[in-house]
């Protein structure tokens, strides 16, 4: 059996660990609060953009009168042969099962699509997702061609995709989560829309951790393109939190002073819902079709942006919960070790007394 000195050393080490996990928990709680706020502040814009789109859809003819075709490429539904899945995970570990849950959900999705004979492109966001999928699948190869004609007065660029394997990683965004900025997301969305428009991919899905509050989260697979109904999230698969996880999260939130309720709607948000929906005939400065064409890519951007913000909040919440249970475990361990230490010490004392007593008796 270990001696008292060893046990004391062990207890000191666990105590240090507990302090670190406790600090990490509080840091995550603070970051979570900020992330939550950010997600809230981003809502009015998303709501208003959707409203403008809806009001435009009502007014402008999206369907060609003669052929009945949908006019905008982002609304066209094609047979799904090539599917793009954007996987949003975190940059860092120490967040419990956060990253592995997302990767698992994404892998399930990829496998099921593959089983249906579809090609899958993976676009990971966040270092954890990138590291995983980069290891599993090869990177996609693009070829940029340049054609010159009219004595070099005119150049034609084209991007060609050479698909070598049914599942490929098309691009990654390792730094996007450091500071989620609309410009970066906009670039990514534009790239996706471009690929969709030139029929390289037939549909786009988003795998991320949805975050309503600390105890209301789930990993979802959301269909991004083609857009079937504006303003609604089309969830094709969802993994809810287990009762156990919910309890752990609620405990962590309570001890860190974070509300578990879904934040209430602000005045601005309530008014945002009315944006562009007044019962009046708007004068359109440009033709509705043109407005619509410019709006669609922005709508996609906002959807991804929203997913990133929620995922960031969820990551902090997951880390906070993980660190809370680590702190609790450390506490339990200290208790158990202290008990053993006391027992060992007592045993040593008892042994010494017996020795003295029996020594005295032998005299």
Burial group, residue 317, by CB count within 10 angstroms (0-12, 13-18, 19+): buried
Contact 55, 291 (CB under 8 A): no
CA–CA gap between residue 344 and residue 159 (Å, rounded): 73
Q: Does 74 bind other proteins (CB under 8 A)?
A: no
CA–CA gap between residue 142 and residue 135 (Å, rounded): 19
Q: How far is CA 249 from CA 43, 256, 363, in A?
A: 24, 10, 65
Q: Does 275 bind other proteins (CB under 8 A)?
A: yes
Q: Does 164 bind other proteins (CB under 8 A)?
A: no
Strand 203-213 to 82-88 pairing: parallel
Q: Does 286 bind other proteins (CB under 8 A)?
A: yes
Q: Does 154 bind other proteins (CB under 8 A)?
A: yes
Q: Please pick, from the candidates 282, 342, 343, 357, the single residue that binds other proteins as defined by CB under 8 A.
A: 282
Contact 208, 311 (CB under 8 A): yes
Whose Cβ is closer to other proteins: residue 92's or residue 290's? 290
Q: Does 42 bind other proteins (CB under 8 A)?
A: yes
Beta-carbon contacts of residue 197 (< 8 Å; ≥ 6 apart)? 73, 74
CA–CA gap between residue 63 and residue 81 (Å, rounded): 24
Q: What minimum distance in Å lies between the beta carbon of 239 and other proteins?
A: 28
Q: Does 298 bind other proteins (CB under 8 A)?
A: yes
Whose Cβ is closer to other proteins: residue 42's or residue 106's? 42
Q: Does 38 bind other proteins (CB under 8 A)?
A: yes
Q: Does 151 bind other proteins (CB under 8 A)?
A: no
Q: Does 50 bind other proteins (CB under 8 A)?
A: no
Binding footprint of other proteins on the chain (CB under 8 A): 38, 41-42, 44-46, 48-49, 52, 55, 154-157, 182, 186, 267-268, 271-272, 275-276, 278, 280-286, 290-291, 294-295, 298, 302, 305
């Amino acid at each position: 059996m270990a001696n008292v000195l060893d046990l004391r050393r062990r207890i000191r080490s666990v105590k240090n660990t507990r302090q670190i996990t406790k600090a990490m928990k509080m840091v995550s709680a603070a970051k979570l609060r900020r992330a939550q706020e950010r997600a809230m502040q981003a809502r009015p814009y998303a709501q208003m953009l959707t409203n403008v789109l809806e009001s435009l859809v009502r007014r402008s003819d999206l369907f060609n009168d003669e052929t009945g075709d949908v006019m905008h490429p982002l609304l066209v539904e094609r047979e799904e042969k090539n599917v793009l899945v954007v996987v949003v995970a975190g940059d860092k570990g120490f967040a419990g099962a956060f990253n592995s849950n997302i990767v698992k959900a994404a892998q399930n999705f990829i496998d099921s699509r593959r089983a249906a004979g579809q090609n899958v492109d993976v676009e990971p966001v966040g270092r954890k997702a990138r590291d995983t999928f980069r290891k599993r699948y090869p990177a996609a190869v693009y070829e940029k061609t340049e054609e010159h004609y009219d004595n070099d007065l005119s150049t034609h660029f084209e991007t060609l995709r050479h698909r070598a394997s049914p599942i490929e990683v098309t691009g990654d965004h390792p730094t996007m989560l450091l500071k989620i900025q609309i410009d970066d997301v906009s670039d990514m969305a534009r790239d996706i829309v471009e690929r969709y428009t030139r029929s390289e991919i037939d549909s786009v899905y988003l795998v991320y951790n949805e975050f309503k509050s600390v105890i209301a989260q789930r990993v979802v697979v959301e269909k991004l393109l083609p857009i079937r109904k504006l303003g609604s999230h089309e969830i094709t698969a969802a993994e809810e939190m287990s009762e156990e996880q919910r309890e752990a999260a609620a405990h962590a939130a309570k001890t860190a002073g974070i509300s578990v309720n879904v934040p209430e709607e602000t005045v601005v948000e309530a008014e945002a819902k009315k944006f562009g929906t007044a019962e009046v005939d708007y004068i359109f400065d440009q033709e509705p079709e043109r407005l619509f064409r410019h709006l669609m890519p922005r709508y996609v951007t906002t959807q991804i942006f929203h997913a990133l913000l929620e995922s960031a909040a969820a990551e902090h919440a997951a880390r906070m919960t993980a660190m809370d249970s680590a702190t609790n475990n450390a506490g339990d361990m200290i208790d158990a070790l202290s008990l053993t230490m006391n027992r060992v010490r007592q045993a040593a004392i008892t042994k010494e007394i017996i020795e003295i007593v029996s020594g005295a008796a032998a005299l």
